[in-house]
A = this chain, B = another copy of it.
Amino acid sequence: MRIDGRKNEQIRQVNIIRNYNKYAEGSVLIESGNTRVICTASIEDKVPIFLKGKGEGWITCEYSMIPRATQIRKIRDAVRGKIDGRTMEIQRLIGRSLRSVVDMKALGEKTIWIDCDVIQADGGTRTTSITGAFIALVDAVNSLHKKKSFKVYPIRNFVSAISVGIVNGDKMLDLCYQEDSNASVDMNIVMTDEEEYIEIQGTGEKNPFSKKDFNELLELAEKGIKNVISIQKGVLKNDCLWIGTGEEIG
* Residue A46 is within 8 A (CB to CB) of chain B in the complex: no
* Residue A7 is within 8 A (CB to CB) of chain B in the complex: no
Which residue of chain B has the shortest Cβ distance to A39 in the bound complex? B68
* Residue A241 is within 8 A (CB to CB) of chain B in the complex: no
Given A99-B205, A204-B100, A204-B198, do A85 and B82 touch, yes or no (CB 8 Å)? no
Q: Is the interface of A mostly helix, strand, loop or mixed?
A: mixed
State whether B79 touches A85 (Cβ < 8 A).
no
Return chain B residues, CB-CB under 8 Å to A71.
Answer: 23
Interface string of A218-233 (1 = CB under 8 A from B): 1000000000000000
- Measured CA separation A100–B71 after assembly (Å): 27
Stretch at the interface among A59-67, A124-132, A143-151: A59-67
* Residue A194 is within 8 A (CB to CB) of chain B in the complex: yes
State whether B120 touches A66 (Cβ < 8 A).
no
- Indicate the size class of the contact surface on chain A: 35 or more
The smallest beta-carbon distance between A48 and chain B, in angstroms, is 14
State whether B203 touches A202 (Cβ < 8 A).
no
Q: How many copies does the complex hold?
A: 6
Given A76-B78, A77-B78, A120-B23, do A205 and B96 touch, yes or no (CB 8 Å)? yes
Return chain B residues, CB-CB under 8 Å to A196.
Answer: 204, 208-210
Return chain B residues, CB-CB under 8 Å to A192.
Answer: 208
Stretch at the interface among A9-17, A111-119, A163-171: A111-119
* Residue A249 is within 8 A (CB to CB) of chain B in the complex: no
State whether B83 touches A78 (Cβ < 8 A).
yes
Q: A81-B81, A194-B208 are in contact. List 14 more A-B contacts (CB 8 A).
A: A27-B68, A42-B73, A66-B115, A67-B113, A85-B88, A88-B88, A89-B92, A100-B207, A195-B211, A196-B208, A197-B211, A197-B214, A198-B203, A211-B218
